[in-house]
Amino acid sequence: MSGLELLVVSGIKVVVAFAFLVLTVLVLVWVERRVVAFMQNRYGPNRAGPGGILQTLADGLKLFFKESMTPRKAQFLLYIAAPVLAVVTALLVFVVIPIGAPVTIGDTTYTLQVTDLDVGVLYILAISSLGVYAVALAGWSSGSKYPLLGSVRSAAQMISYEAALGLALVPVIMFSRTTSLAGIVEAQSGTFGGLLPAWNIVLLPSFVIFLIAGFAETNRAPFDLVEAEQEIVGGYHTEYSGMRFAFFFLAEYINMFNMAALTATFFLGGWNGPLFGPTWLRYVLPVIWFLIKSWVVVFLFIWARGTLPRIRYDQLMAFGWKRLIPVSLVWIMLAMVAIGVRRFGLPWA
């Protein structure tokens, strides 16, 4: 691939990925509202477009035309930088997620991800940590008390859950022997005894910890205490309006889909799945498998929101430090032993 070709292909990938994410958010918001409404004996949005699917677009338009107010005491630069930071970090995470099998056209193979970093896992952890800055800065720079409480909460939450999130991925990396996301998906392509797919979900404790930490990382119920509207009104985005608020909204839903896609990639075999039919179908099917898996996890997110009460701030931290992290550490030990036994046999054998 020549330099120019690489540039063009990457450019196309970036545009497609961006469009895909924005479109996903449009659908995701509608799906969430409809599903939660269904769980709560309501209809949910059903007026704009068929089944109300254009509701998000209408809401977005409304926000676009609304005045963006700035509190007098706000730190203006940080105040407007925070929503941008939120969206940018949310978009950047998606860059390394493979959404389908590599496609070969002519004699060139194109990967269905914007870029395959060798340190993909570390990159994701780094970028998602940066995302917390957006929340913390937004709360602090608003010059208001409820947002400040929200940002303090987000900082505490980040410290408590980032560690668990990273530790949950260690066994995955050990089993896949790579930190590249494409590599991790590749490592899950086989089967156990020709029957069960060799997905990392067999690392069940890791999966559960990752999912819980993911809920906390994306500020979703039952860990949505950064924006708990019953307690601190709107949390960090209380003072935001118009498009600046829309940016936070967009970022939250992109993050939610990212987390679902990452769960699918790390634990549910990514785009792996049964392949059949002509060549074009063999390229399309992986994308469909990937989407199905991601949306199943997305449904988990929505389901939790419809069911669970919100956990308290101190309980959240205690849960992170006293439960999740010790369990992850023990589980890493066990995984190490398992790998050792698999390679060298039992020590007494």
Residue 344's DSSP bridge partners are: none
Interface with other proteins by CB under 8 A: which residues?
Answer: 36, 39-42, 145-146, 149, 152-153, 221-222, 224-225, 228-233, 305-315
CB nearer other proteins, residue 201 or residue 304: 304
* Residue 308 CB, nearest approach to other proteins (Å): 6
Whole-angstrom distance, CA of residue 349 vs CA of residue 244: 64
What does the block give as tokens for 72?
């007098």
Q: Which helix (H) or strand (E) holds 80?
A: helix 76-94
* Residue 81 CB, nearest approach to other proteins (Å): 25
CB nearer other proteins, residue 116 or residue 231: 231
CB nearer other proteins, residue 274 or residue 309: 309
CB nearer other proteins, residue 235 or residue 286: 235
Whole-angstrom distance, CA of residue 313 vs CA of residue 35: 27
* Residue 78 CB, nearest approach to other proteins (Å): 20
Cα separations (Å) of 147 from 140, 185, 222, 227?
A: 7, 39, 19, 8
* Residue 150 CB, nearest approach to other proteins (Å): 11
Report whether 222 contacts 304 (CB < 8 A): yes
* Residue 154 CB, nearest approach to other proteins (Å): 13
CB nearer other proteins, residue 191 or residue 307: 307
Whole-angstrom distance, CA of residue 48 vs CA of residue 60: 13
CB nearer other proteins, residue 318 or residue 334: 318
Q: Which helix (H) or strand (E) holds 48?
A: none
Whole-angstrom distance, CA of residue 135 vs CA of residue 16: 27
Residue 105's DSSP bridge partners are: 108
Report whether 178 contacts 98 (CB < 8 A): no
Per-residue DSSP letters for 244-271? HHHHHHHHHHHHHHHHHHHHHHHHS-TT
* Residue 292 CB, nearest approach to other proteins (Å): 26
CB nearer other proteins, residue 152 or residue 332: 152
CB nearer other proteins, residue 29 or residue 221: 221
Cα separations (Å) of 133 from 91, 145, 185?
A: 15, 18, 30
* Residue 229 CB, nearest approach to other proteins (Å): 5
37-45 long-range contacts, CB within 8 A, separation 24+: 39/303, 39/306, 39/307, 40/306
* Residue 1 CB, nearest approach to other proteins (Å): 50
